[in-house]
Structures are given as C-alpha cells and as structure tokens.
Amino acid sequence: MAHNATVAGTLEYLRSRDPKVGELIALEAGRQASTIELIASENHVSAAVMLAMGTCLTNKYAEGYPGARYYGGCVHHDALETLARERACAMFGARFANVQPHSGAQANQAAMMAMMEPGDTFASLVLKDGGHLSHGMKINFSGRFFRPVHYPLHYDKAHADYERIDYDAVRRVCLEARPKMLLCGYSAYPRVIDFAKFRSIADECGAVLMADVAHIAGLIVGGAHPSPFPHAHIVTTTTHKTLRGPRGGLILTNDEEIAKKIDKAVFPGAQGGPLMHVIASKAVAFGECLEPSFKEYASRVVRNAKALSGALMKRGYRCTTGGTDNHLMLVDLRARAEALTGADAEKWLERAGIICNKNGIPDDPRPPRVTSGVRLGTPAVTTRGLNESHMDTIAGWIDRVLSAGLKGENELAGECEAVRREVAALCAANPLPS
C-alpha cells in the first residue's frame, strides 16, 4: 500500500468523524509532502510503521514486562514486545533491550536512575556545544537531580581538531570530578565519536560509560558510523530520527545486572503502562532496519550530508569542524554575512518550503532564541530518494533565499515564492515512498 494512499484513506475517514481534526492533519500531510525536510532529528516513516501505531493495541494496559504483566489479556502484547526486543538486539549486536521508554529523554532518565543516586556526578558535553537537554541542563531532571560536570570541545581555532571533542580535556575533567557516569553521544555534533577512547577514560576514573546515540543510531545500524558496542555499558537512543521508526526511546546493554536495573528504572521507576501500539510500530521499523537496503540508505544519508555541506561551503558558508562525518552539519551563517542569524534563516527558509532549525554554534555569542547558525540534516531527504546532485540544488536554494532576505522584504518575498515553486516541483517528482 502506498504511503500517500494510506494517508489519504485515513484522512478521509477522520474527516467524516471529526472534520476539524481531519482538516488540520490533512494540512500537515500536505505540508510534509510538499516541503524539503532538513531538520536533522526528523524523518518520514513507512506506511507500515504508521499503520502499526493506529491499531487496537492502543486499547490495552500492559504494565510490566513479557511474562510478568499486572493485567490479564497480554499474550499477544508479550509476543510483540519480545519481537521488538529481539530485533533491537539484532540491530545493535546487544544482549538486552528495553523498548518501553516513551522518548529518548525518558530513556536517558531511566538509565541515569538505574546507575546513579540523586546528587551523584556525571560528565557530559554542554548543550551549547552540541549536547542535549537531558545531558545536564539545570531546568531538566538531569541537572536538577544529578550533578553534571562538562567537558569542552577544542576552542583554539589554530588547533587541527577545532570544534571537535577534546579527549584530553575529557580525561582531565573525569579524573578531577570522578563522575559515576560518563556520557557521550550528542544532538549537534557532526563528527565520528571515538567510543573506545571514551571507554578507556571511563575505566580509568571508575565511571559507567553511557552512549546516547539518538541521532546516529540508524547510521550505526547501517554500518555508516562505528558502534558504541562493545565499549559502552549502556546505549540509549530514540527510535525515530535516522532509525525511521515511531517517536519513542530504546535502551540497550550487554550486562545482565545493568539490564535488570534498567528494567526497574523504566517500570515502575519512570513510567506506568507501555504504549504497546508504539512498541509494535518500533518492531516494524526495526524489521525494516534489518533489511539489506537499510545499509545503502545509511550510506547515502552520509554521502548526501557531505555533499550538502560541501555545496554550502562552496557558496561562502562555514560548516563547523570544516564539514561532517554523519547526517548533520552546523552552518555558521556569519561567514556568509555577519548580519545573518539562525532565527531569520529558519523563518525565511520555511517560507520557501525548506524546513530547518536555528541552532547555536560552539562558543556562539548570540542567545539560543537567535543563534548564529542553523542545523541541517539529510535523513528525511534521503528517505525521499534524493541524492548528491539534489544537495547542490538545495544549497543553491538556501543561498538564494538568505541572500534575498539580507536585501529586504521585497526581494525576500519574490525569491521565497520562486523557490517554493521549485521545491514543490522537486517534491512532486520525488514523493514520499511506499
């Protein structure tokens, strides 16, 4: 069944039952179908993944785990959750998987609760340099209940590893603070992570190594990025982004005792009943990830990202670290024009049908609501079937819109309208897949 046919059939029924909700979803479906999605944390799921979420499984409470539920009538839910676990382990070469976390942040919460007590210290990369809200922000549980210490990037512009992880500094911070947990894996870091180096540092300071691979999970499964196993004690991830599954979380480990602690931390520690319709959808997505074609997808995601970053740098933009090894890039707009901000770029590009998000760059002088950069990613456009030649076209569109925006509203309006038509034509020629 085609993706568009699935959406159309669902919307037709919804409109007959609830015209207001049906119409809003129809508008969103149209937006997704006709725009270029460059948000690095978003993707387009298959019709099968979408269908699994909209099933009778949503009717059932299944608190507990397979074979140990607190409600009757869970025989099929046990089989589905076991299948999801087995496929998750097969994807990553892990021994144990918990597929119940509702999100990546809740997966991180459970992993931290499993291995630390309130007030314990953990080490991570600060959010402004590419970390994540759940890696120690004061307003988040991770910063309220635990004590984060942060390791830096290389800030010296003359250094060969400028804006990359400073592994020597990671070691210094950890030996001084003696954290209970060392966290690696990021939301805005465009280079390969050396998990073996992190494990060596974790062992030296007596820490548990946790890898949050939410962004690069699909690349790992597809062989386009090194695996955190066997180095990490715990691996957390979302199940969307590069994995192309439903929105949700996943925790993996090779250690049986850690697995038991994680299970207790997820339920009853952090959550009640699991979302079994989402777990079924995760199982479908994991099955797709295990297909041979997924390796080619992961490889193309990286090739497209390298092509897009190269095409932007050719036009005078600066990508942090000088490019990318994975699916995303941070674009420093000031290299093109000092007046350009991430907030303006995000707004202007959306008018032209190109969706991205403003993002701080390392050591950004501008506040988070403004920023000096944008974060761009290629998972969704690769799912649509676009290749390296399309990335040059997209880079050209980005430059046309931002250049016009600097000249004023009259120039911007005309350029956005022209680019929007070209974007729509490209999307029509490369529709969302079956």
Rg (CA), the chain: 22
d(CA 417, CA 395): 17
Q: Answer yes or no: are the C-beta atoms of 249 and 103 closer than 8 Å.
A: yes
CA atoms within 13 A on the CB side of 342: 22
Q: What is the DSSP string of 223-259?
A: TSS---TTT-SEEEEESSGGG---S-EEEEES-HHHH
Q: Answer yes or no: are the C-beta atoms of 44 and 66 closer than 8 Å.
A: no
Amino acid at 225: H
Q: Answer yes or no: are the C-beta atoms of 249 and 101 closer than 8 Å.
A: yes
d(CA 309, CA 391): 9
Which residues contact residue 383 at a Cβ distance below 8 angstroms, ignoring those fewer than 6 apart? 43, 44, 244, 297, 432, 433
Q: What is the DSSP letter of 289?
A: H
Show which residues are catalytic: 61, 63, 212, 238, 241, 247
Residue with the two structure tokens 């297909």: 291
Q: Answer yes or no: are the C-beta atoms of 181 and 115 closer than 8 Å.
A: yes
d(CA 404, CA 348): 9
Which is nearest to 244 in space by CA: 184, 181, 288?
A: 288
